[in-house]
Amino acid sequence: MPIPLNAKKVFTGEIFDVYQWEQKMFDGSTETFEMLKRSNTVDIIAVQDGHIIVADQEQPDKPLFTSVLGGRQDHGESAEQTAKRELLEEGGLASDDWEPLCEVRPYGKMDWTVFVFIARDCKKVQEQNLDAGERITTRAVTFDEFLNLAISNNFAGREITEMVLRLKLESEKLETFRKKLMGI
Amino acid sequence: MPIPLNAKKVFTGEIFDVYQWEQKMFDGSTETFEMLKRSNTVDIIAVQDGHIIVADQEQPDKPLFTSVLGGRQDHGESAEQTAKRELLEEGGLASDDWEPLCEVRPYGKMDWTVFVFIARDCKKVQEQNLDAGERITTRAVTFDEFLNLAISNNFAGREITEMVLRLKLESEKLETFRKKLMGI
């Protein structure tokens, strides 16, 4: 559910803002309800030369993990603009063949949408351009390697993990997904 | 990752507390990092007479959804005490045959653990005792119905959804899980 229109912002954080509102309960009493808001993010399934580009990442407060490319939406950006910027910054890559795949809201009490994009036929156009809080090495993996990575413990991005688990249970949908990424 | 010991609580909410700390970046500069803390919760896979008890729930700010029984840990409670209390309050049920199944941290930037329990051989011992913000109808489903429910769109509890998706991909583990719940 979205944050109700009558909710008030009671805290502004670095990542998370907190909203509260008075909610009428089933017995007519009232309680203070709470939800969070954070910037939306994008996930990019980037395809280059028949492989998928994944990111081995280190962040200052975390051990090494693997994910797809992506990041937070800046103020005023569309999700597609964010995806193009992050593909360039994190991967040094650009694509002219984008497709929005799905939108996921990972956590009920948080106004946060993850926009998942496919970027086919990626080309290297520049070097990476990382923030001080990022160490990212990109790596090209096969479609099957990608499926295994996405459901491994070390993979960050539960929305991608759940999507891949569901695809693995339905061979027809998995084949459609493979074609969507890799062509025939 | 846990919240670092040097982090300071900067906001105390109804559900969410916000912590911040100064994090050294890879280039030696410093940035303010942020994490959330919320009460841990329990999920109970309750078994009664060869069926699993699920909860059809309404909350004042949400449409109808289905989940397992469970809820938030009160201050000073162990996870097992929470599970026993919630089974009683939400289901009117008690069990003498508990087994901790797993612990899940659903969201990286939040100090929040979900403790998943199995409660076998549940017995009705009292009527439900619900909060003003709860409308819960319990329902007994077969093991296969439970698996299908857990991966349906209307099910709340992504940790249970992901667990069931993984089990469905490994028939041996699924059979072990079935025996764990239902006996031979």
Tell me the pLDDT tens digit for each residue of B151-181.
999 999 999 999 999 999 999 999 999 999 9
Query: CA of A164: which chain B residue's CA is closest?
Result: B165
Pairing of strands A114-120, A41-48: parallel
pLDDT tens column, A50-61: 999 999 999 888
- Taking the Cβ of residue A161 and every Cβ of chain B, the question of whether any pair is shorter than 8 Å is answered with yes
Of B14, B109, B133, nearest to A25 by CB-CB distance is B133
Asked if A174 has any chain B CB less than 8 Å from its own CB, the reply is no
- Check pLDDT > 80 for residue A119: yes
pLDDT, one tens digit per residue, over B39-93 is 999 999 999 999 999 999 998 888 899 999 999 999 999 999 999 999 999 999 9
Minimal-distance CA residue of chain B relative to A11: B11
Classify the complex by whether its ipTM is higher than 0.90, answering yes or no: yes
Asked if the model's pLDDT at residue B133 lies above 90, the reply is no
Mean pLDDT of chain B: 96
Q: Please list the alpha-helical segments (H only) found in B44-170.
A: 79-91, 143-150, 158-168
CA nearest to B108 within chain A: A156
In chain B, which residues have their Cβ closer than 8 Å to the Cβ of A1? 61-63
Residue A1 is predicted with a pLDDT of 82
- B36 by Cβ neighbours in 10 Å (0-12 / 13-18 / 19+) ranks as buried
The predicted model scores a pTM of 0.94
Task: Kindly list the residues from chain B whose CB atom is less than 8 angstroms away from the CB atom of residue A19.
Answer: none
pLDDT band at B1 (very low <50, low <70, confident <90, very high): confident
- Choose the weakest-confidence range: A111-120, A130-139, B140-149: A130-139
A179 touches chain B (CB under 8 A): no
pLDDT of residue B70: 97
Chain A partners of B60 at a C-beta cutoff of 8 Å?
23-26, 33
- B4 and A61 within 8 Å at the Cβ level: the answer is yes
Contact B161 A162 (CB under 8 A): yes
In this model, does residue B184 exceed pLDDT 80?
no
Given a contact cutoff of 8 angstroms between Cβ atoms, the answer to whether B107 and B89 are in contact is no
Interface test with A, best of B33, B135, B170 (most A CBs within 10 A): B33
CB-based contact, B153 to chain A, within 8 Å:
no
CB contact A12 to B (< 8 Å): no
Q: Is B128 on the interface with A (CB under 8 A)?
A: no
Is there a contact between B158 and A61 if contact means CB atoms under 8 Å apart? no
E strands, chain B, in order: 8-12, 17-24, 30-37, 41-48, 51-59, 62-72, 93-94, 97-104, 110-111, 114-120, 123-124, 135-141
Pairing of strands A51-59, A123-124: unpaired
Instruction: Please give the pLDDT value at position A183.
Output: 84
- Per the structure block, which two tokens stand in for A170? 């339905």
B59-95 burial string, b = 16+ CB within 10 Å, else e? beeeeebbbbbbbebeeebebeebbbbbbbbbbbbeb
Q: What's the confidence (pLDDT) of residue A12?
A: 98
Residues from chain A contacting residue B20 (CB–CB below 8 Å): 13-14
Phi, psi of A165 (to 5 degrees): -60, -45
B116 pLDDT more than 80: yes
